[in-house]
Amino acid sequence: MQNPNEDTEWNDALRRHGIIPEKPKEAEISEDQIVDMLEKTIKQKCTEGKPIEDMSLDELEAMEDEEDEAIIQRYRHQRLAEFKALQKTAKFGDVREISAQDYVAEVNQAGEGVWVVLHLYKTGVPLCTLVNQYLVQLAQKFPSTKFLKSVSTVCIPNYPDKNLPTLFIYYEGDMKKQFVGPFAFGGMNLKKDVLEWMLAEANAVVTDLEEDPRKKNAIHDVMTSSLRGRAHDSDSDDDC
167 burial level (CB within 10 Å; 0-12, 13-18, 19+): buried
Where in the chain are the domains? 95-218
The Cα–Cα gap between 96 and 73 comes to 38
pLDDT in tens, 200-216: 999 999 888 888 988 87
Provide the pLDDT for residue 222. 46
Query: Residue 220 corresponds to which amino acid?
Result: H
Residues 143-164, mean pLDDT to the nearest whole number: 94
pLDDT band at residue 119 using 50, 70 and 90 as cut-offs? very high
* Strand-by-strand arrangement of the 95-97 sheet: 95-97, 146-151, 115-121, 166-171, 174-180
pLDDT band at residue 66 using 50, 70 and 90 as cut-offs? low
Q: What is the CATH number of domain 95-218?
A: 3.40.30.10
The Cα–Cα gap between 88 and 23 comes to 67
Provide the pLDDT for residue 54. 57
Provide the pLDDT for residue 150. 95
